[in-house]
Amino acid sequence: MAALAMTACGDGLGTHSIDEDAARDALKSRGVEIPSTFRFGQMYESQVFSGANSYLGRYDGPQTVFVNSAQLSAANSTFPPLQPIQCTDPAVATLEWGILGFSCTKEMQLLASENPANSEFPTDKVTLLLTSDGTRAHLFVSAEGH
């Protein structure tokens, strides 16, 4: 009986990639708006049996979206303003950004915002990480579930 329950419950659960439309809907439900200057890169969804799913994704854009980061902040006005951070910051060091092709270097420029800010518990926390390598900008989004 336990093996059957595990098999039945396992269908559709776990981590898998989702398409741009599903990503937009998922992030919108978590209060995240992606400005049209960004292009969808990839998004993973971690489905759970009950509760809110988690999402981890990347959007790409020209260098100008990093320079004009106020546009991202304005689109997500419920978030604290984007702040400069370093590779050692928990917003970078504690999340699995590598699955999205992210590798932090000390030459990289990083801006981040977390909502809710300074949350002791990561349940439902959303992190926006805007990066620049001097040529292109990338927006990484983590929406933790529960």
How confident is the model over 45-50, as a mean pLDDT?
Answer: 84
**Tokens in use for 35?**
């400005």
Instruction: Report the chain's mean pLDDT, rounded to a whole number.
Output: 86
pTM of the complete model: 0.85
- 40 has a pLDDT exceeding 60: yes
Instruction: Name the band, by pLDDT with cuts 50, 70 and 90, for residue 126.
Output: very high
Share of the chain above pLDDT 90, in %: 65
Q: What is the signed CA dihedral for 87, 70, 139, 145, rounded to 10 degrees?
A: 90
Contact 25, 43 (CB under 8 A): no
Q: What is the pLDDT of residues 7-35, one digit of tens each?
A: 334 456 788 999 999 999 999 999 999 99
Rounded Cα–Cα distance for residues 45 and 13 (Å):
10
